[in-house]
Amino acid sequence: MFELDQRIAEQLTEVALNSAVQVRCGNSNAFMVTASTIIPLMQMFEMGGVYISANRGAVEIIEAFESIGIDVSKIQFIDLVSSGILGGTDVPYSNIHFVDSPIMLESVLLRTLYILRTTTSERNFVFLDSVNALAIYNEDRILAEYLHTFINTFRQREILSVVLNVPDQTPPLVLSNLDLYCTDLIDRGQVVIH
C-alpha cells in the first residue's frame, strides 16, 4: 500500500499563500514526496493549481496520481517534455498544456499565468517538478535568474509556489539561490534505504 508522509501535510499548515516552498527529495522518494505535498494542498486546503512537469510527461504523472486515487481534475499540467517526442502531444487529457522545450522558461511562466487567469479556484499553487530537470537544459545563471523571477511573480500574486528539487543533481549556484529565494523548506532529501 502506498504510504504518504503525513509530516509534510503538517509542515504545509505553517505556510502562507505568498510562500515559496522548496521541497527536497531523493531519486527514490520523489513521487511519494510529490504526492504527500499535492494531496494536502488539494484536499486539506482545497486549492487548485498548476503542475509544471520538466521531469516526465504529464500523462505518466496523471496516471501515477490516479493509481493512488488522487483526482487531478483541478490541476492543470504544463508538460515540457512531450513536445520533444513526436506524437507525444496526442494525449487523452484536456488538462495538459504543452511548451516546446524546458529551455523556453519565459513561455512556461506566461503559460502558467494564463492558466491562473482562467482558473475558477480562489486559492492556487504552482508546483515545479523539478529544478534538477530544468538544470539539464539550462545554464546555471539563467536558471538562477528564472527561479528568482518565478518565485517572486507568484509570491506577489499570493499564489503558493512549491519547487521540487533533488539537491545532489542541482548545480551549487542554483541550489544556493533557491535557499535564498524560498521562504520554507521541506527536506526529504536524505533517503535511507532499508
| Residue of 16, 110, 136, 180 interacting with other proteins (CB under 8 A) | 110
Nearer to other proteins, 28 or 118 (CB): 118
Phi then psi dihedrals of residue 160, to 5 deg? -70, 125
Residue entry with cell 521541506: 186
- Judged by beta carbon, residue 64 or residue 107, the one nearer other proteins is 107
- Cβ nearer to other proteins, comparing 13 with 118: 118
**Residue 160, all three cell numbers:** 503558493
39 or 80: whose CB is closer to other proteins? 80
Question: Which run of H or of E encompasses 124?
Answer: strand 124-129
Residue 16: other Cβ atoms inside 10 A = 10
Separation CA 149–CA 11 (nearest Å): 25
Q: Which of 9, 91, 103, 185 binds other proteins (CB under 8 A)?
A: 103
- 111 touches other proteins (CB under 8 A): yes
Distance CA 122, CA 20 (A): 18
Q: For residues 97 and 77, give the distance between their C-alpha atoms in angstroms, rounded to a whole number.
A: 6
Closer to other proteins at the Cβ: 65 or 146?
A: 146
**Interface map 114-153 toward other proteins (x if CB under 8 A):** x--xx------------------x-x-xx--xx--x---x
Task: Give the CA dihedral 67, 72, 78, 80, nearest 10 degrees.
Answer: -10
User: What backbone phi and psi angles, to 5 degrees, belong to 75?
Assistant: -110, 135
113 binds other proteins (CB under 8 A): yes
Residue 103 beta carbon to other proteins: minimum distance, rounded to whole angstroms: 5
Return residues touching other proteins (CB under 8 A). 100-101, 103-107, 109-111, 113-114, 117-118, 137, 139, 141-142, 145-146, 149, 153
